Structure 1
Amino acid sequence: MKSIEMVKPKQVAQANECGVFLSKYRPLSDDVEWVQKGLVATVLNGEAIPVVQNRLSDAGFSDLILIPMGADKVFVRSLEGADALLIVNGAKEFFKLVFSHWIRWDQDVTPYRRGAWVRLYGVPLNAWNINFFKLCVLDCGSYLRTDKCTADKDRLDFARVLVATPDLGTINSVVTILVDGAQVQIQVVEEWGYALGEDTCLFEEESETEDYYSDLGEG
């Protein structure tokens, strides 16, 4: 009688050879209940989170608090322990003015990103618009918005753009873009004044504008 050779599945053998061990954790029931009563929302146009929180309070939703999750993402929960999704869905028309969309939290929520103001140096005047700015920041993050001074063309020495980036290091790069067939190099530089990896979406726009343009007015 021939001996029978047992052959293990290939994927099982590879797993054994790699010898990979993963830590295992089971969430506590209280934590699961806490997160299920909240929701993840995307702040419209990358507005500063303190500003949005004030708008909610002014509109009578002082029970809802916004917990930063990085860049334009916030976790919305009720101080009273109510279901935040029911509250938001019950006043959709208002919340569409502050959030671009909202969902229940799950494992597939966008990974961490932070907000960062970057300056674009070398922008041709005939390309001074939001569509061109979006091209300039493709490699460093997602475009959120342009500041008012840049949008109104009050200054033309550099453009100021808010991006959501996964990079914790300081942004400093050069991008080359064809404008009417000519190569143009744009210097993309993150603004100074923040700690390494700090999220600028946590600060109000008024203070940002004052900090970054008061010194320029002296020049």
Structure 2
Amino acid sequence: MTEQTLQTVTTYTRWILIAGVIVLLTLMALLFWRKSHSVPVGEVTIAAPLTVAEAQQKVWFALPELAPRAGWQQEGVHVIGDNWVMIRYTASNGGSLEVGKGTKRPLLNIVKRFPVEARKTTTVNGNLAIFIQGGWDDTDHWNASIDAGLLEWTSNGFHYRIQQTGLGLNYQQMIDFGESLIVKPEKTGPVSEPVNAESINTEPVKTKPAAST
């Protein structure tokens, strides 16, 4: 093998290695992008689901509830830290709906994960809200026809989120769910300002029973 041939082989080898590194970095970047743009419907489960009573002992605020619906079943509650709960319901058709409430959302700035054209500004009981319909398909393109939706708003210092998959709910139906959500009085009294979860005592406030007459 001549010196010129050796140099040529070395050059080709170097370019092949560089191309391999570029391909690898591209694949890693695509994987990261796909993960960061995934639809948060059915988001990450932190631990095994709890009963409503068990979950209520872990957070200081009152859990939200859906009015009973025929063919729907509550699957349990997921508690994330001490400031976010997600209650999961399943329907007889296999679809699911998750109701979240807390003083801090587990995924900050969640609407930034969606294209601008997918977001719709609306209101829930007079509170500013964001509605999103659709999801990312297998080719990493936004598809508004995917049966998934998200509605998020803030009220009295709390974040609320309703997410559906496979239920065929449209915009108005999601709004109806949000406005019919049963919100019990808070154990620590009404919240009129944005809540700082770190500064709040997470232990339930104990009150004396009313005197019998």
Q: Same fold by TM (over 0.5)?
A: no
Greater share of helix: 1
Q: TM-score, normalised by structure 2?
A: 0.28
Q: TM-score, normalised by structure 1?
A: 0.27
